[in-house]
Amino acid sequence: MTSASASKKSTKNEISPIITINKLNKWYGKFHVLKDIDLEVNKTEKIVICGPSGSGKSTLIRCINRLEVHQEGSIIVDGTELTDDVKQINEIRSDVGMVFQHFNLFPHLTVLENCTLAPIWVRKKSKLEADEMAMELLTKVKIPDQAKKYPGQLSGGQQQRVAIARALCMQPRVMLFDEPTSALDPEMIKEVLETMIELAESGMTMLVVTHEMGFANKVADRVIFMDEGQIVEQNDPKNFFNNPKSDRTKLFLSQILNH
Amino acid sequence: MNKNEVFIKLPDRPPPSSTVGIIAWTQKNLFSSTTNTLTTILFFYLIYLYIPPFFDWAIFNANFSGSDRSICDANKAGACWTFIKVRFDQLLFGLYFASNPDQIWRPVVALSVFVLILIPLVIEKTPHKKWLLIFLLTIYPIIFIILVYGGYFGIPISNTTQWGGFLLTFALAFVGIVLALPIGIILALGRRSEMPIIRALSVTYIEFWRGTPLITILFMASVMLPLFFPSGVEFDKVVRAMIGITLFQSAYTAEAVRGGLQAIDKGQSEASMALGMGYWQRNVFIILPQALKISIPSIVNTFIALFKDTSLVSIIGLLDLLNMSQTASRSLDWNGYDIEGYLFAGFIFWACCYGMSSYSQKLERKLDTEGRTE
Amino acid sequence: MSKTKIPFYRNPKIRSLFVQFFVLSLVSFLILSIYQTTVSNLIERGIQTSTSFFDDVAPFKIGFSPFLDFDLGKTTYIEVFYIGILNTILIAILGIIASTILGFIVGIVRLSPNWLASKCALVYIEVFRNVPLLLQIMFWNFAVFLATLPPPKKSIEFGFLYLNSRGLHTPIPYVEDELRFNFWIFILLMTVVGCIFLSKWAKKSFEHTGVKRPVFFYNFLIFTILATLSYLALGGPLEFDIPVLGKFNFKGGGQLPLPLFSLWFALTIYTSAFIAENVRAGISSVSTGQLEAANSIGLNRTQTINMIVIPQAMRVIIPPTISQFLNLTKNSSLAVAVGYEEIVAVWAGISLNQTGQAVIIIAMTIIVYECMSLFTSFILNMYNRKVQITER
Ligand SMILES: Nc1ncnc2c1ncn2[C@@H]1O[C@H](COP(=O)(O)OP(=O)(O)OP(=O)(O)O)[C@@H](O)[C@H]1O
Ligand SMILES: [Mg+2]
């Protein structure tokens, strides 16, 4: 039931998966958070993950860049399996960008320094090169004039766009978003979503945890619904919203669409 | 239309045994890496090196029996708690009560009443805490004076000059705390006042006392205070120390209260102004109750500092707990057992301060979480 | 709306003026009357308050005065005052250095992932900060060091350091030949300048090409090698006076007398417990979100600690730690209990007893401490302003 409909897309595009998750199980202490998760993400695919609070969405995507450690099953990112090897973890992390709900910008560094920190120290770029690329990306997210400011001086929407630019500066192959808009005011949500849509159009592989169903409808190749640590249902957005198969999904959709 | 699929919940499985339980815990917290293992070994070795010999000395080989030093002199491998046992009354209540055993009920009752009031105050769910606290700060000192100082109801007077030991330490700290609180509140309000002269005076007062070490203030109190009053007005040493401590402590209390005042939203003041309340009404009924509640942890922290600092009176010759233990262990009877004296005094100080600091930390965490949910 | 005339006593401005005037007069009256009573009391006791005793010769001995020479029968009271200040500064500096190092170590151990280590640090912090400092000073001095340290003949050796019941004997450097020494210092300065240039160049080249060089290591290497070579080439311009055991005591070298050593020891342990707590609080104040963000962009552990955790934690750690430095300095006045000759002991203690000039002496002591406290607030304000600028 879980991975049945996923295969459709991959056969169509005939692209190899960039992330493969196999029988993933995770516990917090004795609490079973993720149960037998199977998931394949193809290159350039955009996946939206939704589900009720506490269903394990954040935990799932945080496992992908090993901010959380899983106990059973395997996660393979770009051909390398996630293990305890520190060097490998750092390599995978620099290939997987992540955007957090609360931005997590570094308050003691300017916007530009936030963006160039990792390119300089991890990618070993020269400062000039890093600056140039950061400015380019800041222009893309429409805040080049804020480069010299500190994060504390920016609005929430601007901060989140800086966070996106910071992740992009590492030229990641996959981008993970954990509820990037849920700490924002409606107007700011729009500007962040626009940035994300542009990013999607540029062909980035994206996994997005969000409750913005409009966004899911517009850019997602696949919508995944999670509950109680399991993947309940996944489908392309049209079928997902119009013909949900499971009772649980229907209930969830009726709740969020009626609000 | 599709037929509805029913969501089947997978059963919760227990985590792999390698990740929970004592073994996993030990592995994660003590042996997770080479450095971690080496650290464990190092600290284990350090503990092994010092702790068992200490317990051997302090408990297993220690001397408890007897009533003079002969037993201790015979067994030097252990601590001489006989000394503490024999001098217990003196260490706790001072020379007057130690030499008048029939009067010793007075400090015992006074301190017991204090503990009896304190216990419900610390317990979270006690009703009418405010009144208990007010009782402790106003009526209790009177009870204490009647019981310990005497002079009423046929209770013989024990002069403050004869106070000593833990009783004196307690009295000094308690007086400092009780008297410094109102002065501190007024100073804190003064420091936040809109009147420049009042503000300047409060700031000067607060910063002056905070800038000087207590020991110079005690020197000042003992040599200069008599000069400040017309001849004929005499204070004994203990009262002089109390005055010095109160002046000193009020500056620190003021800063603790000011922290609370600053944390109160400006809206509170504006709302009460909108209700037509005057300055004093605003502060007494609206601002101060909230501010004091927030500042309790910092006020308790100033108590802790003061409680430890009362030991400085031993430098100006008062026989507080520290000086009493030192004097006792230098008397001919017990000469040479000063480690025991220091450890006993240190343990009492530690127990009081650690208790207060645990309480203040608990309160701080509680205020923190309340602040978040409200 | 009709505009009624407000009675003057209900005008808030006039009220405020009146209150301030009233309080000011009250305070002035209080101070004035205290002043007058004091003056008349002093006259009554036949004490003439004046500073003329400054130039009198102090009739007591000060054993420890490493910065100003003390001559019994020559040194005046005002010089005793200076010696006291210098000795206070000495213990403050020694204590600040040692307690910062120890405090940071304990604070970091407190946050160690190792449970045992962390609990040991917790016990250290909770024991030493909850016992009065005076008790700790006396405990170490009287019950431990005086009672257990061996006489000079049987000193405990750590290299060229000798610890015994009189104190800690250390080698002290002295200049053999002024000219060669100055030349050596000149070479060292030039090396430092060279190292600075090297760092500048390395930084520039790093910005342009992204090549990172271990500049710090290079500089360290260059400096050590050049310093040693030139030292040898100049035939040792700086000699060390090493303490040697004479018949009864050590000769030569420097000595930290036991009271200073005990005071230093106790102050360091006491203050380090507070600093450790500051360090713990500061490091914990860096949110997990910051660490996750650093991880998610691929920074490794060392990079995360150096570039994300330390800069943010330091902002939380530094202000309360500066206050602890001031506390340590004020606490050094407890030296009276063991007889180390700092300002309170020699000035507010012995000198006051000898001269009876309570008013002047206490006032001067207080002023010394007030100056230190003002200086500390000045540094703190400067620091806060600087941090505010870079943050907002
Ligand atoms: N560090 C942790 N320790 C213990 N339990 C945790 C931890 N983090 C999360 N959990 C629990 O795991 C479950 C899944 O959490 P997760 O954050 O993945 O949910 P989510 O789907 O992202 O929810 P939300 O929409 O509220 O963000 C929750 O029940 C949560 O209480
Ligand atoms: Mg979440």
pLDDT tens digits, A43-66 = 889 999 999 998 999 999 999 989
pLDDT digits (tens, 9 = 90+) for A87-109: 888 888 889 999 999 999 999 99
Strand ranges of the sheet holding C156-158, from the earlier edge strand across to the other edge:
C156-158, C161-164, C167-170, C254-257
Q: Indicate whether C92 pLDDT > 90.
A: yes
Q: Indicate whether C117 pLDDT > 80.
A: yes
Q: How confident is the model at residue C389 (pLDDT cuts 50, 70, 90)?
A: low
Mean pLDDT of chain C: 86
How many percent of chain B have pLDDT more than 90?
21
Q: How confident is the model at residue A9 (pLDDT cuts 50, 70, 90)?
A: very low
pLDDT digits (tens, 9 = 90+) for A159-195: 999 999 999 999 999 999 999 998 888 888 988 999 9
Highest mean pLDDT among B77-86, B168-177, B333-342: B168-177
Q: Indicate whether B167 pLDDT > 80.
A: yes
How many percent of chain C have pLDDT more than 90?
38
Q: Indicate whether C52 pLDDT > 60.
A: yes
Structure tokens at C244: 């040697």
Closest to C148 in 3D by CA, of B74, B334, B338: B338
Q: Indicate whether A7 pLDDT > 50.
A: no
Nearest residue (by CA) to ligand 1, atom 26, is A53
The domains located in chain B, with CATH, are 94-158 (no CATH), 165-373 (1.10.3720.10)
Which residues in chain A have their CB less than 8 angstroms from residue B1's CB? 243
Which residues in chain B have their CB less than 8 angstroms from residue C16's CB? 194-195
How many percent of chain C have pLDDT more than 70?
96
Nearest residue (by CA) to ligand 1, atom 18, is A56
Instruction: Give the pLDDT score at C385.
Output: 85
**How many Å lie between the centroid of ligand 1 and the Cα of residue A229?**
10
CB contact under 8 A, A246 and B7: yes
Q: In a 10 Å sphere around its CB, with 0-12 CB exposed, 13-18 middle and 19+ buried, how is residue A141 labelled?
A: buried
Which ligand is closest in space to the CA of residue A54? 1
Strands (DSSP E) along chain C, which ranges? 156-158, 161-164, 167-170, 172-175, 238-241, 244-245, 250-251, 254-257
Q: Indicate whether C293 pLDDT > 90.
A: yes
Q: Does A28 contact chain C (CB < 8 Å)? A: no
Element spanning A207, H or E: strand A205-209
Residue type, B326: Q
Q: Indicate whether B169 pLDDT > 80.
A: yes
| CA closest to B32 among chain A residues | A84
Which chains have 3 or more CB–CB distances shorter than 8 Å to chain B?
A: A, C
SS3 A32: strand
Which of A240-244, B125-129, B305-309 shows the lowest mean pLDDT across its residues?
Answer: B125-129
Q: How confident is the model at residue B4 (pLDDT cuts 50, 70, 90)?
A: low
Highest mean pLDDT among B196-205, C37-46, C271-280: C271-280
CB contact under 8 A, C135 and B342: yes
Closest to C219 in 3D by CA, of C201, C195, C193, C243: C195
Instruction: Give the pLDDT score at A91.
Output: 87
- Measure the CA–CA gap between A175 and A169, rounded to whole angstroms: 12
Highest mean pLDDT among A156-160, B103-107, C3-7: A156-160
The domains located in chain C, with CATH, are 48-134+255-299+316-340 (1.10.3720.10)
SS3 B201: helix
Q: How confident is the model at residue C118 (pLDDT cuts 50, 70, 90)?
A: very high
Structure tokens at C300: 């490794």
> Which of the residues C295, C296, C305 would you substitute to probe the A interface, choosing the one with the greatest number of A C-beta atoms within 10 Å?
C296
Report the pLDDT averaged over residues B250-263.
Answer: 89
Report the pLDDT averaged over residues C43-51.
Answer: 78
Are B126 and B120 within 8 A, CB to CB? yes
* Alpha-carbon gap: B37 to the closest alpha carbon of chain A (Å): 18
Which of A67-81, C68-82, C93-107, C137-151 shows the lowest mean pLDDT across its residues?
Answer: C68-82
Pocket of ligand 1 (CB under 6 A): A 28, 31, 33, 51, 53-59
Q: Indicate whether A4 pLDDT > 70.
A: no
Closest to A120 in 3D by CA, of C306, C309, C299: C299
Are A166 and A137 within 8 A, CB to CB? no
Instruction: Give the pLDDT score at A259.
Output: 60
Instruction: Give the pLDDT score at B134.
Output: 85
| CB-nearest partner of B16 from A71, A243, A249 | A71
The Cα diameter of chain C in Å comes to 101
Which residues in chain C have their CB less than 8 angstroms from residue B354's CB? 126, 130
Which of A30, A32, A33 to mutate to test ligand 1, by most ligand atoms within 8 A of the CB atom?
A33
* Alpha-carbon gap: C311 to the closest alpha carbon of chain A (Å): 7
pLDDT digits (tens, 9 = 90+) for B198-249: 889 999 999 999 989 999 999 888 888 888 887 777 778 888 899 999 999 9
* Alpha-carbon gap: A141 to the closest alpha carbon of chain B (Å): 33
Which ligand is closest in space to the CA of residue A63? 1
The total of other beta-carbon atoms located within 10 Å of residue C327's CB is 18
Instruction: Give the pLDDT score at C204.
Output: 84
| CB-nearest partner of C37 from B194, B210, B228 | B228
Nearest residue (by CA) to ligand 1, atom 25, is A53
Spatial neighbors of B126 by CB under 8 A, at least 6 apart, are B120, B132
| CA closest to B10 among chain A residues | A35
| CA closest to C369 among chain B residues | B212
Residue type, B309: D
Closest to C62 in 3D by CA, of C73, C49, C46: C73
Instruction: Give the pLDDT score at A2.
Output: 41
Query: How wide is the angle at C-alpha B23 spanned by C-alphas B20 and B25, nearest 5°?
Result: 60
* Alpha-carbon gap: C81 to the closest alpha carbon of chain B (Å): 15
Q: Indicate whether A13 pLDDT > 50.
A: no
Instruction: Give the pLDDT score at C151.
Output: 83
Structure tokens at B255: 């800063």
| CB-nearest partner of C134 from B36, B198, B311 | B311
Which residues in chain C have their CB less than 8 angstroms from residue B342's CB? 135, 138-139, 143
Between the CA of residue A124 and those of A86, A113, A117, A118, A121, what are the distances in Å? Answer: 18, 15, 10, 8, 5
- Nearest ligand 1 atom to alpha carbon A51: 21
Q: Indicate whether C282 pLDDT > 90.
A: yes
Q: Indicate whether B352 pLDDT > 80.
A: yes
Instruction: Give the pLDDT score at C391.
Output: 57
Q: How confident is the model at residue C95 (pLDDT cuts 50, 70, 90)?
A: very high
The total of other beta-carbon atoms located within 10 Å of residue C228's CB is 10
Q: Indicate whether B69 pLDDT > 80.
A: no
Element spanning A73, H or E: strand A72-77
Q: Indicate whether B74 pLDDT > 50.
A: yes
CB contact under 8 A, B216 and C333: yes
Which residues in chain A have their CB less than 8 angstroms from residue C287's CB? 104
Where would I find the H helices in B151-278?
A: 165-191, 196-211, 214-223, 225-228, 237-263, 266-274
- Measure the CA–CA gap between B9 and A35, rounded to whole angstroms: 10
Instruction: Give the pLDDT score at A114.
Output: 93
Structure tokens at B300: 């308790």
| CB-nearest partner of A127 from C207, C287, C301 | C207
- How far is residue C125 CA from its own chain's centroid? 20
**How many Å lie between the centroid of ligand 2 and the Cα of residue C54?**
73
Nearest residue (by CA) to ligand 1, atom 29, is A54
Q: Indicate whether B372 pLDDT > 60.
A: no
- Measure the CA–CA gap between A4 and A134, rounded to whole angstroms: 41
Instruction: Give the pLDDT score at A15.
Output: 62
Structure tokens at A240: 């997902």
CB contact under 8 A, A246 and B6: yes
| CA closest to B36 among chain C residues | C114
Report the pLDDT averaged over residues A213-228.
Answer: 90
Q: Please say whether the dihedral angle defined by the alpha carbons of residues B295, B349, C334 and C121, taken in this order, is positive or negative.
A: negative
Q: Please say whether the dihedral angle defined by the alpha carbons of residues B254, B256, B257 and B262, taken in this order, is positive or negative.
A: positive
Q: Indicate whether B150 pLDDT > 80.
A: no
CB contact under 8 A, C366 and B216: yes
Which ligand is closest in space to the CA of residue A33? 1
pTM listed for this prediction = 0.88
Which ligand is closest in space to the CA of residue A31? 1
Q: Does A67 contact chain C (CB < 8 Å)? A: yes
- Measure the CA–CA gap between C290 and C210, rounded to whole angstroms: 25
Instruction: Provide the phi-psi class of A155: left if phi over 0, else alpha when psi is between -120 and 50, else beta.
Output: beta
- Measure the CA–CA gap between B227 and B230, rounded to whole angstroms: 7
Q: Indicate whether C309 pLDDT > 90.
A: yes
Q: How confident is the model at residue C283 (pLDDT cuts 50, 70, 90)?
A: very high
**CB-based burial, C156-180: b 16+ in 10 Å, e otherwise:** eeeeeebbbebbbbbbeeeeeeeeb
CB contact under 8 A, A126 and C208: yes
ipTM of the modeled complex: 0.89
Are B337 and B80 within 8 A, CB to CB? yes
Residue type, A9: K
* Alpha-carbon gap: B4 to the closest alpha carbon of chain C (Å): 40
Which residues in chain C have their CB less than 8 angstroms from residue A134's CB? none
Residue type, C223: F
| CA closest to A131 among chain C residues | C207
Spatial neighbors of B313 by CB under 8 A, at least 6 apart, are B168, B172, B218, B241, B320, B323
